[in-house]
Structures are given as structure tokens and as C-alpha cells.
Amino acid sequence: MLSDIALLLVGAVLVNNFVLVQFLGLCPFMGVSNKLETAMGMSIATTFVLTLASVCSYLTYNYLLLPLDLTYLRTISFILVIAVVVQFTEMVVRKTSPLLHRVLGVFLPLITTNCAVLGVALLNINQAHSFIESLFYGLGAALGFSMVLVLFAAMRERLAFADIPEPFQGAAIGMITAGLASLAFMGFAGLI
Amino acid sequence: MVNWLVNEPLLAALAALILLGSVFGALLGYAAIRFKVEGNPISEQVNALLPQTQCGQCGYPGCRPYSEAIAEGDAINKCPPGGEETIQALADLLDVEPQPLDAEHGVEKEPVVAWIREDECIGCTKCIQACPVDAILGAAKVMHTVIADECTGCDLCLDPCPVDCIDLIPRKQGIGFWHWPLPADRFRPIEVIATDAATRTAA
């Protein structure tokens, strides 16, 4: 049981990393990685939302949609669940930590459209995960996302001082770096 | 109920979505009340750190408008009365780099208090209208005087005075001039006088 969960976590963080291997959630990955500080804030918010949304969508699917034979409604229901979780998180963050709210700014509502969140919810159903497995799969996906986001933000902060040829400056070098990082993560493919 | 709904797929879908929608709506409605934020908490915290002189040297009509501008991202080094100390406190609060005071808006001076030379005062009430904190007492054709405790030393009363009878004298500092902050419940929470805000935060 414990080794299963460890495998699931390692699988979601490294082998099937949501950003660099499955290419989900690229929008916040490119958008928030300019500064290490915002990347960390975004990571924390996404971790919270992703884990909670994973669990909530599991509950919705298994206790509402499955008994009523409505599995074809899963996408729209999950979008609703994710939107509510994000909105709820935003309210809590705004009340408890106005500074974090200011740092995250527009990116907190943008988690709603982070396809990694919907991806985790749908993959949980496709791979027939149990409740505990869903929880850890969501957590693993979030940790993988956070790790890659923070690493990439650190790289981009250094890139800001690098001597880059003019045609490659700005977003272009960011994309190239992301591609190289993705290649590096392909190396984990045979791990499990 | 569940068996009946399974046989009616259309109604089941409607019921499920309505149920989900209303449960989440209720949850968000509750959260909106429970986690309600009054005003802009950042600008409140910034306003508490500003010296409340209401002098307008920052280019805004008072301390609260400036605090709102800071919350929107304006520079934190436009407050000469607050000086380095205020800039440092704001930098800590907002987690930004402290900058030196912007000389364009004035230089840091020692704390001063307005003083009316009472024999020369003609009782024109112009300084009363100029005072942002209502620290000047007096009436038409009667001598005016300054309530030293309320005066913030902002020098806005100097220009309107037609006989130039107002001086800014250094505020006496030292342990003999310190007094206990009054208990907060003695005052009704009104924001008529700007220094009320400072008293309540201090108490």
C-alpha cells in the first residue's frame, strides 16, 4: 500500500510530470516563471487547488454521477468543481494573506483554466484510482508542477543576465529552455 | 428515488447539475460572508504606517489617498514627514526594496508645530480653513490659536495667513512630553480628526 503510493507520487512528479512530459498547464508555466517569488506563490496556490480539486471531483464522480449513470457529465461537473474550489481558495487567501493575494494577482483565478487541474481529475477516473490514490495523484501532480515551475523560474532569473542573441531574447529563449528541460525529463521514462 | 431517477436520464442529469450548482452556490455564498474583506486591507495597513500629517507633499490630497495609491503600486518614497523610518516600515510591509526619500517631494525635517503670534493675529479664519486636521481654534475677528497636540506641522496654514503671524517651531522632544495614549473606548470610532486613527492603533 505504502509502496504503491510512493510509486504513484514518483510517477506523477518525475516520470509523467504534468508540465514537461504531458504538456499540461503550460500557460501558468510560461506566464508566472519570470520571478522566483511569484513562481513560489503560484506553486503553493496550485498545490492546494489541485489536491482539493482532485479529491472533490473524485467524490462528485463516485457519489453523484456514477449512481445516477451520468458519467457523460463528468467534464462539465469537474469544471464546475474546479471553478468553485478556485473561487473558494481566492476568498480564503484574500482574507488570510492580502500580500499573497496581491502577489498572485490575476494568476489565482487563472488556475481555473489550468488544464493540469482538469487533466488530473479526468486521469483519476480513467485510471480508476481509489480515494487515497486520487488524493496522492493530485498531490504528486501538484508537487511536480511546483518543482518544475520553481526550477524554471530560477533558470529564467539567470537567463535575464545572460548574453542572448537578439532573435532569441524574451519568450523565445524561454520556450527553448522549456524544450530542453522537457528532453531532460524524458530521461526519467524508464524509472518505473 | 435514485432508482426512479436512473430510469429518467434527462431528469437525472438536470437534478444532478441543479444539486451540484446549488450546493456549490450555497458554499460560495457562505464563504463570501464568512471571509468578507472590508475595504482594501493593504491600503489600511499602509495608512496606519503613514504619519497622518495630511500635508499633501506626496502629491495626493492626504494620507489615505496616498496609501491607496501605494496599494495600487505607487512609489513608497514620497512622504517627507515620515522620512526614512516610514519608508523602511512600508518596505517591510510590502516586501519591496527601501528607496531613499524622493527629494522632488521635499526633504525630511525635524518635527515642528505651528505657533500663532497672538498679538499679530487679525482673526481672518483663513488658517482654520486651510488646516487639514482642525488643529486651529478661533472665530472671525477673534484671535486664533493652535492645539499643539493635534497639529501635525504640515505648514499648510503658513501661506494663507495675510499677516504672516504663524511660525513653525521645533516640537519639544523628550520624556517629559510623552503621555499615555488615551484608552481607545473613550472615543467613538469616528474619523473626523486624522489623529484619531493614530490613537486607536496605538492603544
Task: Establish if B8 belongs to a structural domain.
Answer: yes
* Per-residue pLDDT, B26: 95
Within 8 A of B42 by CB-CB distance, chain A residues are 98-99, 102
B56 & B88 share domain? yes
Q: Give the Cα separation of B34 and B44 in Å (integer).
A: 20
Within 8 A of A76 by CB-CB distance, chain B residues are 17
Task: Establish if B148 belongs to a structural domain.
Answer: yes
- Give the angle subtended at the CA of B200 by the CAs of B53 and B48, to the nearest 5°: 50
Beta carbons within 8 Å of B120's beta carbon, 6+ residues apart:
B163, B165
**C-alpha R_g of chain B:** 26
| CA count, 13 A, side-chain hemisphere, B159 | 7
CATH number of the domain that residue B73 is part of: 1.10.15
B138 & B156 share domain? yes
B125 & B158 share domain? yes
In this model, does residue A156 exceed pLDDT 70?
A: yes
How near does any CA of chain A get to the CA of B75, in Å? 16
Nearest CB partner across the interface for B12, out of A70, A84, A102: A70
| B12/A contact by beta carbon, under 8 A | yes
Position B194 confidence tier, pLDDT thresholds 50, 70, 90? low
B120 & B165 share domain? yes
Task: Establish if B99 belongs to a structural domain.
Answer: yes
Task: Establish if B167 belongs to a structural domain.
Answer: yes
| B30/A contact by beta carbon, under 8 A | no
Task: Establish if B183 belongs to a structural domain.
Answer: no
Longest Cα separation, chain A: 60
| B19/A contact by beta carbon, under 8 A | yes
CATH number of the domain that residue B167 is part of: 3.30.70.20
Per-residue pLDDT reduced to its tens digit, B110-132? 778 888 888 888 988 888 988 88
B45 & B94 share domain? yes
**DSSP secondary structure letters along B40-77:** -HHHHHHHHHS------TTSSSSHHHHHHHHHTT--S-
* Per-residue pLDDT, B77: 86
Residue B16 contacts residue A64 (beta carbons within 8 Å): yes
The whole domain housing B27 covers 2-34
Within 8 A of A84 by CB-CB distance, chain B residues are 24, 27-28
Full-model pTM: 0.62
What single letter denotes the amino acid at residue A113?
T
* Per-residue pLDDT, A141: 93
Position B7 confidence tier, pLDDT thresholds 50, 70, 90? confident
Domain count within chain B: 3
- Give the angle subtended at the CA of B65 by the CAs of B64 and B67, to the nearest 5°: 60
Instruction: Give the three-class secondary structure for B12.
Output: helix
Mean pLDDT for the stretch of residues A85-100? 82
Q: Give the Cα separation of B77 and B79 in Å (integer).
A: 6
Mean pLDDT for the stretch of residues A155-182? 89
In this model, does residue B188 exceed pLDDT 90?
A: no
* Interface test with chain B among A88, A92, A103, by most B beta carbons within 10 Å: A88
* Per-residue pLDDT, B200: 47
B59 & B85 share domain? yes
| B130/A contact by beta carbon, under 8 A | no
Residue A174 contacts residue A78 (beta carbons within 8 Å): no
Position B202 confidence tier, pLDDT thresholds 50, 70, 90? very low
Residue numbers of A between 81 and 110 with CB closer than 8 Å to B: 81, 84, 87-88, 91-92, 94-95, 98-99, 102
Chains A–B, number of C-beta pairs less than 8 Å apart: 60
Query: What's the complex ipTM?
Result: 0.73
Beta carbons within 10 angstroms of residue B182's beta carbon: 12
* Per-residue pLDDT, B186: 54
B117 & B72 share domain? no
End-to-end CA distance of chain A: 16
CA-to-CA dists, residue B73 to A51, A192, B23, B42, B76, angstroms:
33, 48, 38, 11, 9
Q: Give the Cα separation of B109 and B82 in Å (integer).
A: 9
B46 & B89 share domain? yes
Q: Where are the domains of chain A?
A: 2-165
Per-residue pLDDT reduced to its tens digit, B33-91? 888 877 677 888 888 888 888 888 888 888 888 888 888 888 888 888 888 888 888 88
Longest Cα separation, chain B: 97
Nearest CB partner across the interface for B13, out of A60, A70, A84: A70
